[in-house]
Structure formats: C-alpha cells, structure tokens
Structure 1
Amino acid sequence: MELLPSDAEKIEVPGATVDFYKYTKDGITYYQFDTSRCGPPEPMVNAMSGLKLIDGPDKKLIMINHKKPMGLLDKIGENFDIETENLEDGRVKLTFSYKEGVSTSADLNDTACHG
C-alpha cells in the first residue's frame, strides 16, 4: 500500500478484512487502510472497525477507497469530521477525525450497506 510513511506498523483490528497500519505524525496517531480493491460490504465493514479506534482528537482514520463511499458517509457523516481528497490514480482518500460530543454516539456496529 502506498501513501504510508516508512515507520508505519501493521496492526490487528477486530472485524477488519484488510490490513491496517498505524503511525504517528505531529502528535496525531493515524490508522490507515485500503479498500480500493474490495467490493461491498468490505469498505463499510473495515471503516466501521477502524472508526472504533478514533476515541479522541489525537487519532485519525485514513481510508483509501476506489470511490467516495456514500453509504458510509450517509451513516456516520454527522458523527465525524471527514476530509475527502481525490488521488491522482482515481482513488479517494478519506480522513476521519473525532468530533467532540458526537463521535461516541455513532452506531459503529451497523455495517449493513444501504447504498
């Protein structure tokens, strides 16, 4: 997986079906995964598993996907701050950040993709 810094370490994430990596930059811990080669429901399942790690403002989740995951964004969009970046190769990079007071109320066990 490209876009990872050299000090990124592979970690186990319960429920994940792809590799997750963890690294720290500027005091922020990043968790990153790539579902750009996966079909539904894998992007949703892995995003929900990864979002459980984001329990404070010093942690962020980076998702690399083949397109903007609208079903996921509809489901948890109000619970996290989300930055979207279109990559040169056509994939999409989403960065999910903790949103004080609302991230903890997201239902991250509902991994059904309704879209």
Structure 2
Amino acid sequence: MLLPNNATKIQIENTTVDFYEFEKDNITYLYFDTSLCGVPEPMINAMAGLKAINDTNKKLIMKNHQLPNGLFPKIDKVFDFEIQRLEEGDVLITFAYKKDSLAEVDFSNNKCLG
C-alpha cells in the first residue's frame, strides 16, 4: 500500500514500527507495516494501534506478511476487520470499531502463540 501524500508519521505508545495517520472520506486512518517483522511484533503493534481506534470515525490498517490469526479472537467482539490479499503475498487488514459493542479488549494481552 502506498501511503497518500497527506499521511503524517505519528507516535503511538509501545510500538516497534512507524505509524502513520491520514484522512480519507471523513475517516481518519492509522497505518502500520509489520510485513518484515517476526513474532511477536505484529501482535504488539496491532494491539497498540487498536487501542487508539476508539470511535467509528477511525480505522486501523495493518500490512503483514500473513494473517494474524491469533489476533482475531481477541478483538472480534469490539472490532470488525476486512482482509485484502496483495499481489506480493502480503495482507492488508482494515480494522473498524463496532459502534454498538459493549465488550472490552485487554490491550495488554499482546502475546502470540506462534
């Protein structure tokens, strides 16, 4: 994914990769790329990024080398996600906050079993 010209680098606590923010169609997107990272970095960065997505006007885009299957059961009561497979084999996952969710996510639970 090429970041748009209006993307700016931002600081998110407890991350190991760069995060960027941009706006499109009145939605604020946060983006990070862990496609070159090994376990547990994708999970750590995803949980830190998801913690910043606290309303329906924000979405998180994660680029990774594979599906983060250990992440989905931890967050699926609070976040929807769409998966896009890229030509080079990577995946883009776009996470969106579920408006009517009363569930909570333990964002400190950022360990991956493999």
- Equivalent residue letter for 1:22: E
More helix by percentage:
1
Bigger shift: 103-112 or 46-55?
103-112
User: Is 1:37 aligned to 2:36, yes or no?
Assistant: yes
Map 1:1-115 → 2, pairs under 5 A: 2-102=1-101, 105-115=104-114
- Equivalent residue letter for 2:101: V
Q: How many residues in Structure 1 have an aligned counterpart in Structure 2?
A: 114
1:12-42 per-residue CA deviation (whole Å, 9 max, x = no partner) reads 1100100000000010000000000000000
Q: Extract structure 1 runs of 4+ deviating beyond 4 A.
A: none
Q: Please give the TM-score of this superposition, normalised by the length of structure 1.
A: 0.93
Q: Within 2, Cα distance between the matches of 1:108 and 1:93?
A: 21
Query: Does the CA contact (< 8 Å) of 1:55 and 1:104 recur in 2?
Result: no
Secondary structure of the structure 2 residue equivalent to 1:21: strand
Q: Please give the TM-score of this superposition, normalised by the length of structure 2.
A: 0.94
| Percent identity of paired positions between Structure 1 and Structure 2 | 52
* Cα deviation, residue 103, structure 1: 6.9
Q: Within 2, Cα distance between the matches of 1:74 and 1:104?
A: 13
- Unaligned runs of 5+ residues in structure 2 are none
